[in-house]
Structure 1
Amino acid sequence: MKIAHALVAVAATFSLVQITGCAVARDQQTVGAYIDDATLTTRVKARFAENKTVSATSISVETLNGTVQLSGFAKSNEEKAMAETLAKSTSGVKSVRNDIVVR
């Protein structure tokens, strides 16, 4: 009887994965979209690390469906603007939301 219950559970799980497209986020983002967003986040962070104006450790980068959200703290308006410029000019970025606070 336990084997029958296990088989039913496996079949139900398999059906759910087939229906949802193997989503990985609560907003049902596909695995491919998740990987694309992670790649964009990494590209933007790498550009920050290469730039002397932007502190890569003080600014957080998150990406969802190609939209990059910047948050954290900048030392100046110049740093905030440069972070946004670098993010916007990164290949694959659709838009940028700049929520960086200047201290």
Structure 2
Amino acid sequence: MSAVLAVMLALGQVAGCASSGGGGPVAQAIDDATITAGVRAAIERDPALKVSELEVETMQGVVQLSGFVGSADSVAAAASVARTVKGVKSVKNDLRLK
């Protein structure tokens, strides 16, 4: 968990520097990486969800969740958790039941 926070802090500092130059592809990629890290951290904090079984990708603020979970409730919970992360514009939920 501390490694995830360290990555988020490091990316957050870099994102702040990169976005001050007016944004662009590099700033967007850094912002997407920050969002991905935030979604992973939020999902990791939920004891019902297992990060190792989920893939999280972000493109221009749109988060895609894929992989397998044990219940329909987990499918809904993962999407709900992802939507709470700052910067997430929408969530594409491609999770499947085991």
Q: Is the shorter-chain TM-score for this pair beyond 0.5, marking a shared fold?
A: yes
CA shift for structure 1 position 91: 1.1
Q: Which residue of 2 aligns with 1:22?
A: none
Q: Which residue of 2 aligns with 1:9?
A: none
Q: Compute the TM-score of the two structures, normalised by the length of structure 2.
A: 0.74
Cα deviations across residues 47-73 of structure 1 (Å, max 9, x unaligned)? 111110111110110000000000000
2-structure distance, mates of 1:96, 1:49: 17
Q: Which residue of 2 aligns with 1:43?
A: 38
Moved more, 65-74 or 49-58: 49-58
**Is 1:100 paired with 2:95?**
yes
Q: Compute the TM-score of the two structures, normalised by the length of structure 1.
A: 0.71
1-structure distance, mates of 2:75, 2:51: 12
**Is 1:63 paired with 2:58?**
yes
CA RMSD of aligned residues (A): 0.9
Q: 1:84 aligns with which of 60, 68, 79?
A: 79
**Highest Rg: 1 or 2?**
1
Residue type at the aligned position of 1:40: I
Structure 1 gaps of 5+ residues are: 1-28
Structure 2 gaps of 5+ residues are: 1-23
Aligned residues: 75
From the two aligned structures, give the one with the greater helix fraction: 2
CA shift for structure 1 position 98: 0.1
Structure 1 ranges of 4+ moved more than 3 A: none
